[in-house]
Amino acid sequence: MLRQGADASPTLASTKWHGYAVPGMPGATYQADLFMQTFSMQYSRCSGCTGAGGNGQAVFTPSSTLRNNVNNGSTSATIAGDPLGTSAAPYTADIPWYSKFSGNFAPYNNDQHPYLIWNLYRLNSDGSIAQIGRSGVKHAFLTLNTSCIENPGDSHILGRGCADVYSVSNNDSNSALGPRSEIVPATNLGSGRWHYDHAVMNVDFTRARTAGAEPKLRVLSSVGFDSFVVPVGAATISDLVFGDGDLDSQHDWVARVGRSGVSWTAPNAASALNWGTMARFSFIVGEAPAKATVTLRVGASGDPKALKAANLPAPGTRRID
């Protein structure tokens, strides 16, 4: 599902959409940053299951509460006690929360809404990790706006500090689920501007230097990736963002636009994308999605020097149909 539509003027319901200027604060804009406040799951049913140690398809259904960022010029914890529960966005944007196929609404002149997916992984006894389950796409359709700091008074807009609950019954409802293949992870902001957001998870890759041999083997260094490159052609890039979840700016990768594309590079070895960690890379550009190959450079000498991933959304001329 491509999110499409021209820019729309602010409505009376909200003047705090993502990207809108903060009054009286030159250069500051409202930013969307949504958190998962609680999460649990329950066993629902099983198809063709043959008992312990056997086969079958089991369904586990999640329940979760989402909460909007609480910041309004200063930084406070949105999820208290969570080391990743504080937003780096100083001014909270209202978030559109419209039912799919329900019409065209501000700020993007479409039925913009969050969507959720869940994956299930197993950590095996040999140290490997395997994905053993995945959900369809849950399309959000309205918000209860509970525990608000600023309630917009509209069940299709999530306000500052507001929460919304998705129970087991909602998350196991076919009427609110769809296939992942309908979604292209790039957002049309209108007026020819597109927002690209790449989340890169290093599950288990490392390039290690060792000394000695078992049983006295020593690990001298262990490094993952230190650069990420997305081809962009001649497009004009803006709003480059990097996020690694630690809120320490000294670890932030440095963004640069060059002939090979837009790149992010780790400032030092300690900031590499090592195994078991994830980083976010995003930007806005005046090109619709095309199939392209992105590059991850390995942060230590050896072969291969980089790993590539093909057929991912990036600006270009080979449009995705």
Q: Note the pLDDT of residue 6.
A: 33
Q: Note the pLDDT of residue 318.
A: 41
- The span from the CA of 302 to the CA of 317, in Å, is 34
Tokens, residue 68: 């909007």
Q: Note the pLDDT of residue 12.
A: 43
Nearest to 227 by CA among 195, 193, 267, 167: 267
Spell out the alpha helix ranges (H) of 104-255: 168-171
**Tokens 């869940």 appear where?**
118
Q: Note the pLDDT of residue 317.
A: 46
Cα-flanking dihedrals φ and ψ of residue 226, to 5°?
-125, 10
Report the first-to-last Cα separation within the chain, whole angstroms.
11
* 3-state SS class at 100: coil
Q: Which residues of the chain have pLDDT under 70?
A: 1-13, 126-130, 181, 183-185, 190, 247, 316-321
Tokens, residue 257: 């636009």
DSSP β-bridge partners for residue 243: 280
Q: Note the pLDDT of residue 126.
A: 66
Cα-flanking dihedrals φ and ψ of residue 270, to 5°?
-70, -15
pLDDT tens for residues 264-318? 999 999 899 998 788 889 899 888 888 899 999 999 999 999 999 998 888 864 4
Q: Note the pLDDT of residue 2.
A: 28
Ordered domains of the chain (ranges, CATH): 34-183 (no CATH), 193-315 (2.60.40)
